[in-house]
Amino acid sequence: MLMPVECSVRRLAGAPAGALLLALLGGDPVHGQEQPAPAPGEAVFTIFVRSVPVGVERVGVTHTDEGWRIESIGQIGPPVDLNIRAFRIDYDREWRPVRLDIDGARNADQYTVSTTFADGSATSEIQQGEELASATHAVTPDAVVLPDFFFGAYEALAARLHAIGEGESIPVYVAPRAEITASVRGVRRQPIQTGQMQLSALIYRTEMHYDTQRLEADVWVDANHRLLRVNFPLLQLDVARQDMALVSTRVTAGGDADETDVRVPARGFSLAASVTAPTGHERPPRGWPAVVLVPGTGLVDRDENLAGVPIYAELSASLSEAGYLVLRYDKRGMGQSGGRAESANLDSYADDVLAAFRYLERRDDVDRDRIIVTAHGEGSWIALQAAARENDIAAVALLAAPGTPGAELVLEQQQIRLEEFETPQAEREQQIALQERIVAAVLGDGEWDDVPQSMRQRADTPWFRSFLEFDPAQVVRRTRQPVLLVHGKLDRQIPIEHVDRLEQLMEARRRREATLEVVRLPGVDHRLLDASAGAIDRYNQLLERRISTAVTAALADWMGRTVPARR
């Protein structure tokens, strides 16, 4: 959900969680390979936490007589409150660090770092506010230097990765603190559609090794050895280059499925969508059974990319193999769809579901009596809203759906995040109190006086108001379709208890056709991945980003029994 961005960022900025952000991976040069040569030039990056933009950094890479120079300026808003007036890191021709200079301000206090590298050590002079300090650390000569929150530094990492083999490790210096070890666990290629261009990125699955813990990160690199994106799935932190952050850009599936891009007429605009046709099946006389995949909240496109997992792209491929025609679309104002997101609410997004439903009804290759609406996470509320308004929707499948009212869900998710980052109790109470004031103000039960203006701008919107006001109990009683609930027992974002409440609400319906099935899947997390203790070490499986086959099997089995073909 939209909130609380600030508490997550603040906790990440402090020790030890702050260090977790900074040690992105690279690798030692492979002996005998030519050193990388990234394309010089400028790039602009947007920093997102939980899909909300919190800052911008402009980065330049130049080739000097001595080697390479990376420079940047930028701003990350409160509560990090980092002003990057000037950042510069020099590397020699072999990508060994030579000098680091930082001139900035944190929380309005002066923050400068000057570090020189020589003879296997890094010597730093540091000013933070009125405090002056110096430090010397032993540093491997070819370490990648990644200071806290200066994401332009990761251009050096992107330049180095092409020479790194799977399973190899590299030293990373978290300036000006300490050196850690990082390793590459695998590499995959990802097609990207940006405007009218089709690009391809290499995504390096990396793992950072600290004294007591490890952290995954995906590093996206373009064909010019320049940084496209850095994503920390666990922390929900994303740093994306401008062409990746544009609403017209989307990550594509790039598989072998029979997929066609279409435009779905909506109210005053059109939705950009993909239709995935069944493969290896004979078309039924009345047409294919069809599925509409409803996008959820946040900055997601038709593939429902969540923490690096393209959930809807995976579902489309799997369900088409099972004999279903699948439509998924970019939500209004996102991806390549028209419309304006800033004025939309839950009802508006339900309108878009119905537009997609009616588009399928008009297709000659679709059985209009066998159209199912499916949603993941908070998108389930949009699907329920649409089903309550349109009885001709044949059935509804909800994956990892929340079962409490919106105001309760926002506070619960904030509490989960605070616990994940081991936020001190005093700060935890302050953040919860702030979130409660925001909720009250949005709902008209409180004032905005003690809420930062930046937070009010993000929270005081039609969408967030409709989300807080939503109670699934009020909508469920108006639905009459058969419903399937699928929930992973390892879901930490929307815990398994939510499906228990939804089950109670659904069972209270008295219509004969309003049947219910509930599937609770052990070892499956919110991304629908197999995240059990035995699976988490299978990096190749996780690298492929295949959602659990138990999820697709449960969907296909229920669909086949619930909306069977007519003879």
CATH number where 543 lies:
3.40.50.1820
Higher pLDDT, residue 193 or 227: 227
The tokens describing 15, both together, are 């020790």
The 10 Å CB-count burial string (b at 16+, else e) for 150-186 is bbbbbbbbbbbbbbbeeeebbbbbbbbbbbbbbbbbb
Residue 70 lies in a domain: yes
Higher pLDDT, residue 522 or 188: 522
pLDDT class for 251, splitting at 50, 70, 90? low
Residue 567 lies in a domain: no
Claim to verify: residue 73 and residue 218 sit in the same structural domain: yes
Claim to verify: residue 120 and residue 178 sit in the same structural domain: yes
pLDDT at residue number 452: 82
> How many domains does the chain divide into?
3
Mean pLDDT within 296-310: 75
Per the listing, tokens 């005093």 go with 426
Claim to verify: residue 485 and residue 525 sit in the same structural domain: yes
Claim to verify: residue 20 and residue 36 sit in the same structural domain: yes
pLDDT at residue number 227: 95
Residue 433 lies in a domain: yes
Q: Which of 141-145, 373-377, 408-412, 414-418 has the lowest mean pLDDT?
A: 414-418
* 304 pLDDT more than 90: no
Claim to verify: residue 384 and residue 417 sit in the same structural domain: no
Claim to verify: residue 236 and residue 340 sit in the same structural domain: no
547, burial (CB in 10 Å: exposed 0-12, middle 13-18, buried 19+): buried
* 197 pLDDT more than 70: no
pLDDT at residue number 328: 96
CA distances from 401 to 376, 487, 497, 545, 547 (A): 6, 7, 10, 21, 17
Q: Which of 111-115, 120-124, 189-193 has the lowest mean pLDDT?
A: 189-193
Strands (E), 464-504: 483-488
* Dihedral over alpha carbons 46, 48, 51, 52 (to 10 degrees): -90
- Please identify, among 194, 222, 245, the residue that sits at the C-terminal boundary of a domain: 245
Mean pLDDT within 308-316: 84
Q: Which of 209-223, 261-275, 350-364 has the lowest mean pLDDT?
A: 209-223
> Could you tell me which of 352, 427, 420, 415 has the C-alpha nearest to residue 383?
352
- Amino acid present at 99: R
Summarised one tens digit per residue, pLDDT across range 495-534 is 999 999 999 999 999 888 889 999 999 999 888 988 764 3
- Please identify, among 226, 245, 264, the residue that sits at the C-terminal boundary of a domain: 245
pLDDT at residue number 33: 44
Kindly state the DSSP code that residue 16 receives in the 8-state scheme. T
pLDDT at residue number 62: 94
* 301 pLDDT more than 80: no
Q: Give the H or E element holding residue 562.
A: helix 549-562
Claim to verify: residue 384 and residue 411 sit in the same structural domain: no
DSSP β-bridge partners for residue 394: none
Residue 556 lies in a domain: yes
> Could you tell me which of 335, 340, 346 has the C-alpha nearest to residue 300?
335
> Could you tell me which of 393, 411, 392, 390 has the C-alpha nearest to residue 402?
411
Share of the chain above pLDDT 90, in %: 53
Claim to verify: residue 233 and residue 119 sit in the same structural domain: yes
pLDDT class for 162, splitting at 50, 70, 90? confident
pLDDT at residue number 299: 66
Report the mean per-residue pLDDT for the chain.
84
Residue 395 lies in a domain: yes
Higher pLDDT, residue 486 or 415: 486
Claim to verify: residue 362 and residue 260 sit in the same structural domain: yes
- Please identify, among 221, 245, 269, the residue that sits at the C-terminal boundary of a domain: 245
The domain in which residue 94 lies consists of: 5-245
Q: Which of 70-74, 326-330, 334-338, 421-425 has the lowest mean pLDDT?
A: 421-425
Residue 324 lies in a domain: yes
Rounded Cα distance, 382 and 386, in Å? 6
Residue 370 lies in a domain: yes
pLDDT at residue number 237: 80
Question: Chain centroid to CA 382: how far?
Answer: 19
Residue 62 lies in a domain: yes
Claim to verify: residue 377 and residue 426 sit in the same structural domain: no
Q: Which of 39-43, 149-153, 192-196, 227-231 has the lowest mean pLDDT?
A: 192-196
SS3 helix, strand, coil % of the chain, rounded to 5? 30, 35, 35
Q: Give the H or E element holding residue 156.
A: helix 154-160
Claim to verify: residue 426 and residue 302 sit in the same structural domain: no
Claim to verify: residue 314 and residue 217 sit in the same structural domain: no
Most confident of 100-114, 183-197, 236-250: 100-114
- Amino acid present at 398: L
